[in-house]
C-alpha cells in the first residue's frame, strides 16, 4: 500500500522535474543550510513532494534536505526525503539525478521507500517484503558483469583511498557519477562492485532509501568503523563514511586497510 503510494508520487515528481529541466533561473541560490545551498530547483522539488505526501491524508513527520525537520502532532510515520539528489547533474543536463523518499514507522522501523530516476522514470522501491525495480520484485542479486568502483573522496584522503583501492584484487574501472542514492543502487542491483564515500559530507537524507533497498537485497552498508549505518529520524545529520559492496571478503579487506591507515 505505502510502496504504491510512493511509486505514484515518484512518477509525478520525476515527470514534473523533467518538464522543468533546462529552464532559466533554476540555479538561483535562495539560501544555505550547513555547507550546502538551496537553489530554486531544490525548493520546487521539495514543495512538490511535500504537497503530494500531505495529500495522502497520513500524518507524517518530515526530515528533508532543504527545510530540515517538520513535526506533526500524532504522526504515524517519518519520511526522510532528498527531493533532488544530483542537483549539479540536473542543472547541467547530466541525466543522473533522482528523488528519494524513505518512510519509517513512528518507532523507527523501515516501512517503504522509493528512489526515482528523474530523466528515465525508472524506480527502485522497497517495502517490508522485498525490493523492486519498476514495480517488479527482485529475487536474486546478479553478479556485476564489470568491476565498477564508485569512490568519493577529498584530496586530504588520497593516501587512505589509495590503500582502500589496493584492497581490490585484479582490475576494475572507476566512475564518479554524482548522485549517491543512485550510485549505491548500482551496487545493490548488481551493476557495480563497490561504492565508498569518505568525504564526511553525505547525510541521512541522501542515502536513507537506497540503504533500506540494499538491506532488502542482503547487501549491508557499513561505516568504515565496521558498524551498521543508522538513519537519524530526528534531524538532517551527517554520515561520515559509507562502504557498500556485496563482496564480503572485499569489505573485510577494506575495513582492515582503513583501520591500519593513519587517522
Alpha helices per DSSP H over 134-247: 158-165, 180-188, 204-216
Question: Annotated binding site: which residue ranges?
Answer: 65, 82, 84-85, 206
Question: Annotated binding site for Mg(2+): which residue ranges?
Answer: 65, 82, 84-85, 206
Provide φ and ψ at 71, rounded to 5°. -100, 145
25: its cell numbers: 533561473
Helix (H, G, I), strand (E, B) or coil at 62: strand
Instruction: Please report the beta strands in the chain, taking only residues with DSSP state E, as ranges in sequence order.
Output: 29-33, 36-39, 60-64, 68-70, 77-85, 98-105, 110-117, 123-127, 130-133, 136-137, 148-152, 173-174, 194-197, 242-244
| Cα 163 from Cα 170, distance rounded (Å) | 14
Amino acid at each position: 500500500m505505502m510502496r504504491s503510494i510512493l511509486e505514484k508520487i515518484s512518477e509525478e515528481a520525476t515527470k514534473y522535474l523533467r518538464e522543468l529541466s533546462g529552464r532559466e533561473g533554476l540555479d538561483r541560490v535562495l539560501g544555505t543550510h550547513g555547507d550546502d545551498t538551496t537553489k530554486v530547483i531544490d525548493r520546487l522539488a521539495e514543495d512538490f513532494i511535500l504537497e503530494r505526501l500531505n495529500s495522502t491524508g497520513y500524518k507524517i513527520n518530515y526530515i528533508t534536505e532543504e527545510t530540515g525537520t517538520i513535526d506533526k502532532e500524532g504522526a504515524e510515520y517519518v519520511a526522510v526525503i532528498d527531493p533532488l539528489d544530483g542537483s549539479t547533474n540536473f542543472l547541467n543536463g547530466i541525466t543522473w539525478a533522482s528523488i528519494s523518499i524513505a518512510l519509517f514507522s513512528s518507532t523507527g522501523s523501515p516501512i517503504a521507500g522509493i528512489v526515482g530516476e528523474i530523466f528515465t522514470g525508472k524506480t527502485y522501491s522497497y517495502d517490508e517484503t522485498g525490493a523492486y525495480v519498476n514495480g517488479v520484485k527482485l529475487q536474486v542479486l546478479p553478479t556485476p558483469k564489470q568491476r565498477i568502483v564508485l569512490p568519493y573522496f577529498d584530496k586530504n584522503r588520497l593516501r587512505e583511498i589509495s590503500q582502500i583501492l589496493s584492497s581490490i584484487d585484479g582490475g576494475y574501472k572507476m566512475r564518479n557519477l554524482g548522485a549517491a542514492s543512485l550510485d549505491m543502487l548500482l551496487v545493490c542491483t548488481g551493476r557495480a562492485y563497490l561504492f565508498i564515500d569518505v568525504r564526511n559530507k553525505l547525510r541521512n537524507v541522501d542515502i536513507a532509501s537506497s540503504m533500506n533497498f540494499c538491506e532488502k537485497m542482503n547487501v549491508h552498508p557499513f561505516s568504515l568503523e565496521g558498524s551498521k549505518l543508522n538513519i537519524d529520524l530526528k534531524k538532517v545529520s551527517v554520515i561520515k563514511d559509507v562502504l557498500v559492496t556485496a563482496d564480503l571478503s572485499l569489505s573485510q579487506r577494506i575495513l582492515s586497510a582503513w583501520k591500519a591507515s593513519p587517522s
